Chain A
Amino acid sequence: MLTLPRRPLRIATATGLTLIIAALIVAVLWAILDAATGASGGSRVDLAHLLRMTALQAGLTMVLSLGVGVAVAWALNRLRFFGRDLVVGLFAAAIVTPGMVVAFGLLSIWGRNGWINQAAQSLFGFSFDSPAYGLSGILIAHVVLDGAFAARILLARLDAIAQSRLKVGQSLGLGAVQRFRLIDWPAMRGSLPGLGAIIFLLAFTSFPIVLLLGGGPANQTLEVAIYTAVRLDFDLAGAVRLALTQIAVCSVVILIASAFTPVPSALSRSAQPNWRDARPVRAVQWLVLVLATLGFALPLLNVLYEGLAGGLFRVLEQASFWRATATSVIIGASSAALTLALALVLALGRSATAQRVGRTLLGVPAYAYLAVPAVVLSLGFFLLVRALGVPSGAAAPVVVVIANSLLSLPFAMATLGPPLDAVLRSRGKLIRSLGLSGWQQFTAIEYPLLGRDIGLMLALAFCFSLGDLGVIALFGTQDFQTLPLMMYRALGSYRSNDAAAIAALLLIFTIAAFVGLPRLIERIAHAPRR
């Protein structure tokens, strides 16, 4: 049994934060129940059917996304080519781009009037039945969003495999299959439960994509029912009941994911690989990469193309665009900073305990936002802010920052958790023998080793915040406008060209953040040492 350095303060702080987040969720639900007046109209929802359909959809999404993610990460780890960083950035960009943008990008390729069908029409004179609608459409969209994200996170783990390990493997003459099984798989394994849970929950609670591509009420999620209860029926007690159902289901998934014992993963950064797989294997890797790029990148490239070709200048001329950009960047940066603080508190506390129960409990709060329906969270925050006597317009930026941080938290934990565990497993003895304090342990060991992961995490949190619309609904005033909000407003005012241009610009910001931030932070983290 491995002994970790004693860090009671870390565990206490993380426990405190866990309690705060739990209290916040309870307060949100309580505020709504408190506002609920009169008898509820009784639920008109076929819960069993909804849960079955949603669980099926989310389960399939999770399995497919993880499969695709592992394959793509494997291929990307082996191959080096010009523009690789851009491809990696593009892959990561999918999950943080507003779902609607990705969905419409997909339709431009796979839709009834998409490139594939248009090509088939002009080449063969007939068109296919588009796979982009119904359950298959939902799955394609979710796998593009989540599979690419999984690939990005897993790639970080593969790229961190120690050079020495690779050298030993190479000298043993491992074949491609053995290399994957003995070297790659152990490095990725630790990230899979967290990733799987995130993807399952994202798909379970996905709302606009399911409605857009689902083709009708047969494919729907619990979130839609909750939205109906809150908005149309104004049955707040019913909404809380449905929300609790969703929280219960999600908690099962979260507990399973958090209960997994940590798997040591590697930390170093691999240089150019001089260990190439055999030629046929490389051909497979290229094939995976080309298919993935076509699948993931084409829809996004089409978003760029449509946006830049259309109303770009009309948008750039508008003062409101620049104001919205500034608001988005400030909100994004604040959210990213808050996310980092929250994630570090939780992840440091979690990695400091070897107890199963402790680790499980400290892993749970990260998923709070995913389990609680956005419309319920938004409503609860709104009521809480009013109860505090703060004008809702004034509270909007603060609430948006908090909500965005909670939204990014599971992704931040998935990024920082495994490498932090690895640090303690590989350097724990050293830390103990040197008698380092908690602060020294962080500044001298953890922070430098985590630089790149912190950068990736900041990029994720920043971009999530940039692209999210989530809780702003009840707080919005015309003065507080973020880029995605401006995009939806343009779309709602017939201005599809403006909306396309804003979508393209959002995507460019996102990719830039993903390419730039991890490098920047790694440079900062290593600066004092050079």
Chain B
Amino acid sequence: MVKSSSLALAVLIAGFSGSAIAQGKPTLTIYTYDGFASEWGPGVPLKDGFEATCNCTVNWVAADSSIGTLRKVQLEGESTEADMILGLDTAIAGEARATGLFADHGLALSDLALPGEWTDAQFVPFDYSHFAFMHDTDTMPVPPASFEELIALPDDIKIAIQDPRSATPGLGLMLWVKAAYGERAPEIWAGLKPHILTITREWSESYALFLDGEADMVLSYTTSPAYHIFDEDDHTIKAAMFSEGHFPQIEVAGILKSSDQQDLARDFLAYLTSVEGQKVIPTTNWMFPVVDLGTELDASFEGLPQPDKTLTLEESEIIANSPAWIEEMLAAVQ
């Protein structure tokens, strides 16, 4: 029985690999996180849009998370099929850069509409938003306006956040508190502790807790309300703006040095940051575009608040200290 089953497996493997015969057109293989390549994400329309002009095939390969895409390429080394990684964010870009796997993009990006000037030689930004706590105006008409106000609320006001070790927003919150409070970060975390309902593995789990009314607030993005306005005509979900300022998540893409499709990859990045490509992003990835779309920006994004202040941390500082900061945070909420 063992024999026959392994024989069946061999046949299966042969069958599957046989079907992957290369076609005449060049293929651009892009590793990205799951949500981006899903049928509702920007992957499909971006593929269609780019393929219309490039005489090529775009091949999305989804990993379970954005850090997963980087790890996959690191494991595959030189022989990776990937030409590009799309979906890393600025919190892990430094670590990605340090691997030495990424080539310069060579694009002029000084005109982008981002919270700061963009000077990165390897990574190209394609959308952004700020981390923020969501609240429901039906159950919480007046949200706290700072971390300290949140801490001062009664203990039965609960927030759902994500683990900085498994979810990018979780990492973002850790950096946000650090950027806002520096040395005082452990004190803020200790203050937040009684409010933390739970720390989930993924963003989607905490967000579901919030939608089910289990948590009063959830760590998400300033752009999250746009989904509920666009898809459900629900205007009750809003981002609470904090006076300390907000930490941004800027999502980036980078070309791999090992790719034999450097020009094609650069063309894709140019398309991705063009008005044409950027029009896709807001209502599929629920993030702000990186160019000014003017009236083409969907109405659901119009009323969204922008923070007064965007907090930042030096990339070198993030690389050097993230593990220690995560320890510090976990110890404070333990």
Contacts and interface: CB of A to CB of B under 8 A. Distances in A.
Interface in A32-46: 35, 41, 44
Q: How large is the interface on B (under 10, 10 to 19, 20 to 34, 35 or more residues)?
A: 35 or more
B35 interface: yes
Interface string A186-225: 0000000000000000000001100111111110000010
A216 B68 contact: no
Contacts of A382: 72, 75
Contact of A394 (B19, B41, B202, B231): B19
B71 interface: yes
B196 to A, nearest CB: 6
B17 interface: yes
Given A341-B5, A383-B75, A489-B34, A227 B165 contact: yes
A209 to B, nearest CB: 10
A474 B199 contact: no
Contacts of A20: 2
Interface in A95-134: 100, 104, 107-108, 111-113, 133
B281 to A, nearest CB: 13
A492 B1 contact: no
A390 B204 CA distance: 33
Contacts of A41: 323
Contacts, number: 176
Nearest to B32: A478
B278 interface: no
Interface in B155-214: 158, 163, 165-166, 193, 196-205, 207-209, 211-214
Interface of A: 13, 16-17, 20, 35, 41, 44, 100, 104, 107-108, 111-113, 133, 207-208, 211-218, 224, 227-228, 230-234, 318, 320, 338, 341-342, 344-345, 379, 382-383, 386, 390-391, 393-395, 397-398, 401-402, 473-474, 476-478, 488-496, 499
Q: Which 4 A-B pairs have the closest CB atoms?
A: A113-B213, A394-B16, A473-B64, A491-B204
Interface of B: 1-2, 5, 9, 12-13, 16-17, 19-20, 34-35, 37-41, 43, 60-65, 67-68, 71-72, 74-76, 79, 81, 158, 163, 165-166, 193, 196-205, 207-209, 211-215, 224, 227-228, 231, 286, 323, 327, 330, 333-334
Given A228-B166, A230-B71, 8 more contacts: A112-B213, A211-B201, A217-B334, A218-B334, A341-B1, A390-B13, A473-B63, A477-B60
27 contacts: A44-B327, A112-B158, A112-B213, A112-B215, A208-B201, A211-B198, A211-B205, A212-B205, A216-B193, A216-B198, A217-B333, A217-B334, A218-B334, A231-B68, A383-B75, A390-B13, A391-B17, A391-B81, A394-B17, A397-B16, A473-B63, A476-B34, A478-B39, A493-B38, A494-B228, A494-B231, A494-B286
